[in-house]
Amino acid sequence: MHFNILLGFLFPWLLGFYLYLKDKKTVLSIAPFSSLVAHLFNMLGMHLGLWQVTPFHLFDVSVLPFELGLYAILGSLLVYTIQRTKLNHHLIILIFGASTTLLEQLSFFLGIVHYSNSWNIWWTFISYLTPYYLVYSYYIALKHVSILLCKPPNNSQHH
């Protein structure tokens, strides 16, 4: 579990802190939603017996550091990258999905993640791509209601 806390929570939040200093609004708006989506996908997958994360005897708790750390920060980094690049948004989402899948593939080879019930790396890719698209859709919704990326009102009058 120490490994999960260190690599799943503490290290990602080092990047998260830097990202927060660069763009507070994105991190504060996106990280909680991204974490929630990760939690929902993990609970579904684990309760359906598709995958497990060490330590296996802790079941749901074993993925909590990743949900609150790595996935919260990756969702925020996705939106931050989309906001600051001219690359096609779908290409960025594909790159994030593929990169996260490769990271999990490494975890699989190291025995940190175990697959069952015909789950494989291709389904893993889909299970990352879908949440990234949900985070992207949430970001678009926030933009439409002027929560994210809105400039403060230009009030020339001071009260």
Do 66 and 8 touch, CB atoms closer than 8 A? yes
Give the CA-trace dihedral at 51, 106, 64, 50, to 10 degrees: -10
User: Average pLDDT in the 136-153 region?
Assistant: 77
Assign 3 a pLDDT band (cuts: 50, 70, 90): confident
The string of pLDDT tens digits covering residues 36-76 is 999 999 999 999 999 999 988 887 899 999 999 999 999 99
Angle at 126 between CA 50 and CA 70, to 5 degrees: 80
Residue 158's Cβ-count burial label (10 Å; 0-12, 13-18, 19+) is exposed
Tell me what the pLDDT averaged over the chain comes to.
Answer: 91
Angle at 47 between CA 44 and CA 51, to 5 degrees: 85
pLDDT attached to residue 147? 67
Report the amino acid identity of residue 49. G
d(CA 102, CA 134): 20
For residue 148, pLDDT beyond 50: yes
Do 53 and 112 touch, CB atoms closer than 8 A? yes
